[in-house]
């Protein structure tokens, strides 16, 4: 694991951005074994695991046992997996429709818990990406804020697939702008801006990310066998 190098790059990006606040770190553990995840758990500045599939996470969470680190769902959530996801994950970061929000809220109520969530926004315009379109963000925000068993912590996005740094920064800046609008509209503090992966986390830090999601840089290339 490249822990030292990652930490140094985060510190450099923070210095460049003139930031001294804390940036949280999610180890994106999709496709990784429980053994690899245990190793990541032992790195003290790793704050979360990020998994993108409910089924994979279910098997691993059982095998993992007690975890120092909360688990976040960062992949698209289908309605029929909402209950399982609500049982399994400590955070759900991929809220992308009023229907899903209502369903999760009802299930959370039945489970007697409040689920911390992020709204995922598609800021890249890429059809393959999940997340609510920016023009549908406010209606979704208004739907979520009325739901007592969901706690809205902030926003998440996945940057565009391009080498063009301006384009990537535009995407992250858009998420930051939406969060600012949402704070004004709701009075919520919405502290979490989850953006930045192995290929673009430094740009995300420059644009105000408070939670980066790193897989490849930490664990090495993924092998989808």
Residues that bind ligand PLP (CB under 6 A): 28, 30, 52, 74-75, 158, 197-199, 213-217
Nearer to ligand PLP among residue 26 and residue 141 (C-beta): 26
Least CB distance from residue 88 to ligand PLP, whole Å? 17
Nearer to ligand PLP among residue 30 and residue 176 (C-beta): 30
Least CB distance from residue 199 to ligand PLP, whole Å? 6
Nearer to ligand PLP among residue 208 and residue 215 (C-beta): 215
Least CB distance from residue 123 to ligand PLP, whole Å? 13
Nearer to ligand PLP among residue 77 and residue 147 (C-beta): 77
Least CB distance from residue 184 to ligand PLP, whole Å? 27
* Residue number with the smallest Cβ distance to ligand PLP: 215
Least CB distance from residue 185 to ligand PLP, whole Å? 26
Nearer to ligand PLP among residue 52 and residue 122 (C-beta): 52
Three-state secondary structure string covering the chain: CCHHHHHHHHHHHHHHHCCCCCCEEEEECCCCCHHHHHHHHCCCCCCEEEECCHHHHHHHHHHHCCCCCCEEECCCCCHHHHHHHHHHCCEEEEECCHHHHHHHHHHHHHHCCCEEEEEEECCCCCCCCCCECHHHHHHHHHHHHCCCCEEEEEEECCCCCCCCHHHHHHHHHHHHHHHHHHHHHHCCCCCEEECCCCCCHHHHHHCCCCEEEECHHHHCCCCCC
């Amino acid at each position: 694991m490249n822990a030292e190098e990652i930490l140094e790059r985060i510190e450099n990006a923070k210095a460049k951005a003139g930031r001294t606040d804390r940036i949280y770190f999610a180890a994106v553990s999709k496709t990784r074994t429980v053994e690899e995840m245990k190793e990541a758990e032992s790195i003290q500045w790793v704050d979360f695991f990020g998994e993108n599939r409910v089924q994979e996470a279910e098997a691993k969470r059982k095998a993992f046992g007690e975890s120092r680190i909360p688990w976040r769902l960062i992949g698209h959530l289908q309605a029929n997996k909402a209950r399982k996801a609500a049982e399994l994950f400590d955070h759900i970061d991929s809220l992308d429709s009023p229907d899903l929000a209502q369903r999760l809220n009802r299930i959370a109520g039945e489970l007697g818990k409040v689920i911390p969530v992020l709204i995922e926004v598609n800021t890249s315009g890429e059809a393959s990406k999940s997340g609510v379109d920016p023009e549908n963000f406010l209606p979704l925000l208004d739907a979520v804020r009325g739901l007592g068993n969901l706690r809205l912590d902030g926003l998440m996005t996945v940057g565009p697939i391009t080498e063009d740094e301006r384009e990537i920064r535009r995407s992250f800046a858009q998420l930051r702008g939406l969060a600012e609008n949402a704070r004004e509209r709701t009075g919520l503090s919405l502290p979490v801006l989850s953006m930045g992966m192995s290929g673009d986390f430094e740009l995300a830090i420059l644009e105000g990310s408070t939670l980066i999601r790193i897989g490849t840089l930490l664990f090495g290339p993924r092998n989808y066998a």
